[in-house]
Structure 1
Amino acid sequence: MSLIPATILTGFLGSGKTTLLKRVLEEAHGQKIAVIENEFGEENIDNEILVTESKEQIIQMNNGCICCTIREDLREALQLLAAKKRQGLLDFDRVVIETTGLADPGPVAQTFFMDDEIAESYLLDSILTLVDAKHAMTQLDERQEARRQVGFADQIFISKTDLVAADEVDALMHRLKHMNPRAPQKAVHFGEAALSEVFDLRGFNLNAKLDIDPDFLTEEAHDHEGHDHPEHAPGEHCDHPSHQHGGHHHHHEDDVKSFVFKSERAFDPAKLEDFLGAIVNIYGPRMLRYKGVLLMKGTDRKVIFQGVHQLMGSDLGPAWAAGEPRVSKMVFIGIDLPQDIFLQGMEQCLV
């Protein structure tokens, strides 16, 4: 049986997760989706779509989708679904896990890597985070869970943009990009998103693509290459032209931040392994996502690297193409990570 793709849908309370989910479930896309609801809230999807008083935990919907509401362990629910699929009792193509609005998606993502049985049945495709444009600035200021959800995202959907001014949306997108430059951002109205932006994003694939907005890199370079202004971390107040959006600055000092390491020199594999092992030991719980395409001594192939919290893995990617600039790029997204320690440490692992 081929692996079942799984998508984690997260986002703060009221950000529109259920709206997006209902739209995906109701669309006639010929896919059968099993939904694991990780909460009991007023917004529960089954009161509206299923209109059933059944005490059954797994409910088959009329369009072939399945809704499974869990109180107990996610792992058990995933194993149960996979077992029923293997036995031919349930037919579905993919799983969507909707987390509670206050959840940290990290442990949910880790379930797919740490549990052998789950890893044999499922492939974690991506983490989608919904952000409510009207309330996001306050939520990001006040709640670390909201900031973590942004840091983990492979794709960010911004809902309710019609309720706020364009420059506010712009400021929000700018802020989100500093927290997570890997995740593309898209405004969605009432959950209307193309399925190609929801499924098969391969956010956890160890592939050669490192999605960092190129503007983010130039902005970073602009900030850190020895200009005569004092250095500041991304997200701090500053008034370089690249940070001015219609004349207002962002004053938000978020604890979830990202930074990028770049070098044209090759890494010494043993040194890099030691260094990454050491920082993951110390900072692992605060490291949300990190991913790189690296130039390594001793191979003509790219080395693709990524991790979530303390779990990391690497893989040989395709060969560097003729004429392609051989540059290592690594992005770190985490909570109050000491940027200088990370960047200097990476520098010391170069040949």
Structure 2
Amino acid sequence: MNADLNAKSMVPVTILTGFLGAGKTTLLKRILTEYHGKRIAVIENEFGPESIDNDLLVQDLDEEIVELNNGCVCCTVRGDLMRTLNNLRERRQAGELNFERVIIETTGMANPGPVCQTFFMDDDIADYYRLDAVVTIVDAKHGMTTLDQQEEAQKQVGFADRLLISKKDLVNEADYQTLRHRLIKINPRATITPVNFGETDLQSILDVSGFNLNAILDVDPDFLESDHPDAADDHSHDHAHAHAHEHDGDCSPACGHHEHHHKAHSDDIGAFVFRSNRPFDPERLEDFLSGIVQVFGPDLMRYKGILYLKGINRRMLFQGVHMLMSAEPGKAWLAKDKKGSKMVFIGRHLPQEIFTQGLENCLV
């Protein structure tokens, strides 16, 4: 109970990332200028011609934090993110600033992993802020090309709790479904929503609780199921897409998908799920997971699951980012429950057979 109360008093943080030109700045300008009734501190780390602080907010380049007339705060990162977060914390505790939540914008080329790790590595930050979710914006028109050419874009998709697809009106339905299917293959646990940034519901990207194990499993207990509605929908869409383009010769520019129609996409980032109805031996599992994290940690984006452990009458919930892993007890198993473990691993070139064989060796 105390842990729940403590979590509610912490400042929730959303990490906003996405492809270059996908619309992060458009969304942030709306947050920072609209009277939406929410007091938000935006930490802005996008340097360049489209940066908010260059053309909208900061007149005094020596000032890092600017208060806005809609109750928000804009903060530009000119140094270390930990220092910036602690500065905001100190000024809020002193009553100098008033905000209810934080949104961190990463650069379009950034890997969100190190930003996520900030909230696990610094005690002052971990005690004061609660990492809520990673939200990634994908450009529908250039998304396939960006995923082909930039591994960082694949990492942004792999870390996401929410995927927002912008510019859907610039592509046909078949191409949109092809992109959506690819995103699901990279990250089957993220919710996918097409968005128009003039009408984005802020509530859909706030209070996601993507890093709160109990919360996400309560909201979507089947998020690891292979027959998740998203996966089922996209199987049929992919099938339809293949038949929609049966014509002789190459696609022409007018066809709309000449850039990627004939090309197989082999993404560096991918996901797989492990399931078993047999219980794990707790000690063997802990040893195996510790070893896996040591060896493959840099390539592990996100991993999460529900564990059925021998001798423990509760679900054990676990998750991790890179080499940082945590576990906590979940709900008790009831007599009517079908006990079992479900685990999802998202990462770069992960050897599924090694993971699967190792996990099977940990079963009782």
- Please say whether Structure 1 and Structure 2 have the same fold, judged by a TM-score greater than 0.5: yes
- Aligned residue for 1:85, secondary structure, equals helix
**In structure 2, what residue type is equivalent to 1:87?**
A
Look up the match of 1:163: 170
> Which has the larger displacement, 210-219 or 108-117?
210-219
Distance 2:97 2:346 in 1: 38
Look up the match of 1:329: 342
Cα drift, residue 326 of structure 1: 1.3
Cα drift, residue 48 of structure 1: 4.5
Q: Give the 5 Å matches for 1:134-149.
A: 134-149=141-156
**What CA RMSD, in Å, does the superposition of the two structures yield over aligned residues?**
2.3
Cα drift, residue 215 of structure 1: 9.4
> Which has the larger displacement, 317-326 or 73-82?
317-326
Distance 1:59 1:341 in 2: 50
- Aligned residue for 2:214, secondary structure, equals coil
Distance 2:322 2:97 in 1: 33
Gaps of 5+ in 2: 1-5, 244-260
Cα drift, residue 242 of structure 1: 8.3
Look up the match of 2:252: none
Cα drift, residue 180 of structure 1: 0.2
Look up the match of 1:256: 269
Is 1:152–2:128 an aligned residue pair? no
> Which has the larger displacement, 97-106 or 248-257?
248-257
- Output one character per residue of 1:170-209: Cα deviation in whole Å (capped at 9) or x when no partner: 0000000000001000000135322221101001012164
Distance 1:153 1:161 in 2: 19
The structure 1 residue matched to 2:116, chosen from 104, 109, 112, is 109
CA 1:185 to 1:341, structure 2 compared with 1: closer, same or farther past 3 Å?
same
Is 1:246–2:246 an aligned residue pair? no
Distance 2:283 2:348 in 1: 27
Look up the match of 1:9: 16
**In structure 1, what residue type is equivalent to 2:74?**
C
> Which has the larger displacement, 28-37 or 266-275?
28-37
CA 1:169 to 1:85, structure 2 compared with 1: closer, same or farther past 3 Å?
same
Distance 2:162 2:221 in 1: 12
- Output one character per residue of 1:268-316: Cα deviation in whole Å (capped at 9) or x when no partner: 1101100000010000000000000111111111100000000000000
Distance 1:43 1:35 in 2: 16
The structure 2 residue matched to 1:307, chosen from 307, 320, 329, is 320
CA 1:100 to 1:324, structure 2 compared with 1: closer, same or farther past 3 Å?
same
Asked if the contact 1:181/1:212 (under 8 Å) is kept, the reply is: no
Distance 2:75 2:326 in 1: 31
CA 1:18 to 1:321, structure 2 compared with 1: closer, same or farther past 3 Å?
farther
**In structure 2, what residue type is equivalent to 1:153?**
A
Distance 2:266 2:319 in 1: 26
Q: Percent identity?
A: 56
Alignment length, in residue pairs?
333
Gaps of 5+ in 1: 223-239
> Which has the larger displacement, 26-35 or 133-142?
26-35
- Output one character per residue of 1:151-182: Cα deviation in whole Å (capped at 9) or x when no partner: 00000000000001111010000000000001
Distance 1:208 1:59 in 2: 33
CA 1:48 to 1:321, structure 2 compared with 1: closer, same or farther past 3 Å?
farther
Asked if the contact 2:308/2:316 (under 8 Å) is kept, the reply is: yes
Distance 1:191 1:333 in 2: 32
- Aligned residue for 1:117, secondary structure, equals helix
Distance 1:123 1:208 in 2: 13
Q: Give the 5 Å matches for 1:169-184.
A: 169-184=176-191
Asked if the contact 2:188/2:271 (under 8 Å) is kept, the reply is: yes
Asked if the contact 1:32/1:65 (under 8 Å) is kept, the reply is: yes
- Aligned residue for 1:21, secondary structure, equals helix
Q: TM-score, normalised by structure 2?
A: 0.86
Look up the match of 1:344: 357
